[in-house]
Amino acid sequence: MSVNFIKSFSLVTKGKDPDSQKLQEMLPIVSMTKRILLILVFILSLSCSQTQKKSIEDIDGYELRYAKGFSVKGYDDYRLVTVRDPWDTTRTLFQYILVDKDKEIPSDLPKGTIVKVPLESVIAFSTIQCSMLQEINEQHKIKGVCQAQYIDLPYIQEKLKSGEILDLGSMHKPDVERLIQLMPSGLVVSAMETGMGYLEKLKIPVIATTDYMENTALGRAEWIRYHALFYGKEQMADSLFSETERRYNEIKEKVKNTDKKPTVFNDLKFGKTWRIAGGQSYLANLIRDAGGEYVWKDSSTGSRRLAGEMVLDEAGTADIWLLKYNRDNDFTYSTLEKESKIYSQFGAYKNKHIWGCNTGRIHYFEDIPIHPDSILRDMAIIFQPQLFPHSELSYFKPLE
């Protein structure tokens, strides 16, 4: 006899189980034999009810520490992965039902896209997704990519040359014939690329990410755990993320109580306007965690376009200017002024407090979604150099 059965019998006969109140009222009017039979029937029905409840409850205990864009629930025969709409967090954008590929698909599944895991082959639409898979040692599953010229990962470039990975062209209009030729077990895309109707017709699971909409560095980095779910690499991803979290928080704690925090702004204008990240955005929070003070303090998590004159008005007296650019040659103060006269009017230009990162040579965009602790360290060295004596920069360097 099981422990649960004995426990249930005890609760029922003592009247302590709330579901047994009606039974207790009936017991005095029946004989002892009928009383025992009645109790046994009640316990069996209760046990069946409890078993049924267990099959629909989360048995996985999966917890996220920073990411807001997805959630995971584990059940007996599958996992339910939900991607929230970052533009309307009350709405579900995608729902995936992860089923072991060696087992039969369970019946009575909730609504969602069934994905047999671990995935055997995928097409990755961007360099960030390739980087995530490389981090969990699943890059060999990549059989196709989009916009290969922008993926600066040696493994991908090597396999492109050998023909083991195919270039499908633009992520907004990939080569459908090549895609059908590959017929992968999954397409890994950002949510912005999911509106293409032909993807649904191909009957290939479209695994969407919204990591770029997280407004904290660790929230975005935790999406490595999302990717790992589709490859059975949960433990590896948890370990990698925990190390990233530890290093990040150590730096954040080290600069937290500094007396002076320099004001900081970013990047260059494109055409006549400057793309400015909001005051509660991913970038703004990264700068604050590194011991700086972001110039814009509004409540926005997105970005907006501002005229150069408006940026000069707000950031003209800022202490530090961080640049990211992709050029054949590194920027200097003279080449910066030649690009636009307005640049030389900023205080950071006049005081020679500009640091640049040439993303054509440095893996900034490949690293920041996975290793924000490394980017944070560079920023902390620039903002609070007294706390990091003799430390070398990995991504940024002072303009000459």
Place of tokens 């599958």: 78
The phi, psi pair for 377, rounded to 5°, reads: -60, -45
Flag whether pLDDT at 33 surpasses 70: no
* Residue 347: inside a domain: yes
73-80 average pLDDT score: 94
The answer on 311 and 381 residing in a single domain is yes
102-112 average pLDDT score: 94
Would you call 42 helix, strand, or coil by DSSP? helix
* Residue 60: inside a domain: no
The answer on 176 and 147 residing in a single domain is yes
Q: Which 8-state DSSP code applies to residue 18?
A: G
* Rounded CA separation 69/83 (Å): 6
20-42 average pLDDT score: 50
* Residue 116: inside a domain: yes
The answer on 361 and 316 residing in a single domain is yes
Q: Read off the pLDDT band of 387 (50, 70, 90).
A: very high
The answer on 127 and 88 residing in a single domain is yes
The answer on 268 and 174 residing in a single domain is no
* Rounded CA separation 30/26 (Å): 7
* Residue 44: inside a domain: yes
Q: Sign of torsion, CA 245 246 248 252? A: positive
Which range among 35-49, 228-242, 259-273 shows the weakest confidence by mean pLDDT? 35-49
What is the distance of C-alpha 42 from the center of its chain? 48
Flag whether pLDDT at 80 surpasses 70: yes
Q: Name the residue among 81, 110, 75 with its Cα closest to residue 96.
A: 81
* Residue 136: inside a domain: yes
Q: Read off the pLDDT band of 86 (50, 70, 90).
A: confident
120 is written with which tokens?
A: 């055997």
Answer whether 101's CB lies under 8 Å from 123's CB. Answer: no
Cβ within 8 Å of residue 33, ≥6 positions away: none
Q: Name the residue among 306, 322, 296 with its Cα closest to residue 273.
A: 306
The pLDDT of residue 202: 80
Of 173, 202, 224, the residue at which a domain comes to its end is 224
What is the distance of C-alpha 1 from the center of its chain? 47
Q: Name the residue among 340, 303, 345 with its Cα closest to residue 325.
A: 340
CATH number of the CATH domain containing 112: 3.40.50.1980
Q: Are strands 320-325 and 122-124 parallel, antiparallel or unpaired?
A: unpaired
Q: Name the residue among 343, 356, 345, 359 with its Cα closest to residue 400.
A: 356
349 is written with which tokens?
A: 């230009």
* Residue 251: inside a domain: no
One-character DSSP codes across 142-161: EEEESSGGG---HHHHHHHH
The answer on 271 and 209 residing in a single domain is no
Q: Name the residue among 46, 35, 41 with its Cα closest to residue 8.
A: 46
* Rounded CA separation 293/274 (Å): 19
The answer on 43 and 159 residing in a single domain is no
The answer on 307 and 391 residing in a single domain is yes
Residue 9 structural domain? 3-55
The pLDDT of residue 152: 87
Q: Are strands 70-74 and 79-85 parallel, antiparallel or unpaired?
A: antiparallel
Q: Which 8-state DSSP code applies to residue 172?
A: S
pLDDT tens-digit map of 276-304: 999 999 999 999 999 999 999 999 998 99
Answer whether 78's CB lies under 8 Å from 106's CB. Answer: yes
pLDDT tens-digit map of 40-64: 544 444 444 443 333 344 556 689 9
Q: Read off the pLDDT band of 145 (50, 70, 90).
A: very high
Flag whether pLDDT at 8 surpasses 50: no
* Residue 260: inside a domain: yes
pTM of the predicted protein model: 0.83
The phi, psi pair for 222, rounded to 5°, reads: -70, -10
The answer on 320 and 214 residing in a single domain is no
* Rounded CA separation 149/133 (Å): 18
Q: Read off the pLDDT band of 65 (50, 70, 90).
A: very high
The answer on 197 and 308 residing in a single domain is no
Number of domains in the chain: 3
The answer on 31 and 89 residing in a single domain is no
Answer whether 241's CB lies under 8 Å from 221's CB. Answer: yes
pLDDT tens-digit map of 338-384: 999 999 999 999 999 999 999 989 999 999 999 999 999 999 999 99
99-114 average pLDDT score: 95
162 is written with which tokens?
A: 């050998």
Cβ within 8 Å of residue 20, ≥6 positions away: 11, 12, 42
35 is written with which tokens?
A: 């009383």
* Residue 271: inside a domain: yes
The answer on 386 and 282 residing in a single domain is yes
